[in-house]
Structure 1
């Protein structure tokens, strides 16, 4: 199996597995208990917290969560006032703001340009005094474009609003602007375990709790933390920090080689303002669902894993102006640290050949 679905999830780093094993095998104490084993578990979580926070802006508090979906729900539902967001955001944002709208909260969803980037003039017109929250993704999970988060944060602050950055796809790869007020991240997108994420809050920012209970985390998040998951997240974050330059160079080399090999395909989204580990391509006349069925030993996708099986075309591709037919002829290839040039070349050769055979048969 050749794995090219890094936007859906990343392979677990050996460092993360090594950090988790002691807490899975023999250290079972509740980290919120006052006895010695509990204090040891708590200490491991605090080490992990520092490791994860090291890749985020200074002067903030990091609270562990069950994942980025919880973190985003907490940031959105725990804030106040009108919301401004983008049409190409993840469902964890769009569905949550839709739920807030049903409760009577004012929501503005901004369109994006054909390259997938926000129209800053439209944002400037929408982010007005009285706005409570601006929510935008750093790196789009489907087409890889990097939004101008710093510029959006400037507009948000000028209007008196908070800036929420969904940094799930960018964390550890693209610098999170220091002007964000809230940042949501997930471990399994950065070679950590599934089931743990975090919400970073700038000092002075307060949110209403999403869940009520023990309030174990400093910012008010309730629930017993898993030392194993937190330790795995911390180790993955440290590895990302240590290998950031090497990972970036590796991904850029893979991207350049892939673009050359797939020269007959059209790149979806901006070429310059994008994370290079995402390659979203289109070839007219191709049925991507059939393509994935024909190449079951290559893991790639037609878009977000969260929407797979829904029967709907990608809202991100529709958001940049694609017809359903154009969206259904687009593939998302995600690669990274553990992808070799040889396996990427082999996979792309087979994908391209199978796609062109489809068009000939048609």
Structure 2
């Protein structure tokens, strides 16, 4: 029996979306929550994890649950910008010769940019306009992307041979950077049984939410209340990365460059989205803290001293959260 989306509120639809993905992705509750937060905040996600940690599977599960068009791009060193954006193709129809635009894989709802750091800078730059402006310009003509548009990129943190570090400008355009860890013992056992069951009896799961529910949820999130105290708290967290000497000598030594204004905007959007997911009509400090690492971690550049002391972005953000008081 098909689901009647018209009888569901956006809250109910998104709750079912999370539940549906959880049936496919085991032991990655935080990852699922952050994917949905990014969807509601209309942003892009960079997933980083070791091979086999369900990065691609998570994206496919989200696409299937949304019944959204998924465009997959396997990034390789020989990839060209036209392979991503599309290009003009020469057509001959009788005596008539024309150039017609052939859309690339970017013209889908969800874009799986697999191993994004394996393509050179020219291809990376082709994504910048799409991620920021939601449009693609080819041969002087601009083509709008779908209203529901989200880039979900993956990269491997340990395999660096033949890779190109993402430019800071592109990293900044990812709303969230989410790290995927190995599952625990119980989750590993559940994964074995889940995949075995899928092999024995593949199940056709019905989509649980359409894009109209997502758009309705976004409208509600825009109107969600955020107090002046929480706004000052967001600003203080970001300023701690730019002026770490205000808080401690350790922070001053560990941070080479702080987060950009996009970090403040992202904290505001993601905190409101999380509060809405939790069923609240206002933002509390825990909403900001729950997304702080994923929002700020990839926007801070660690100093050589931090790397020498074994300090990573997780420890850095945790230290900032400990030292910055809630207004």
TM-score (norm 2): 0.31
Higher helix share: 2
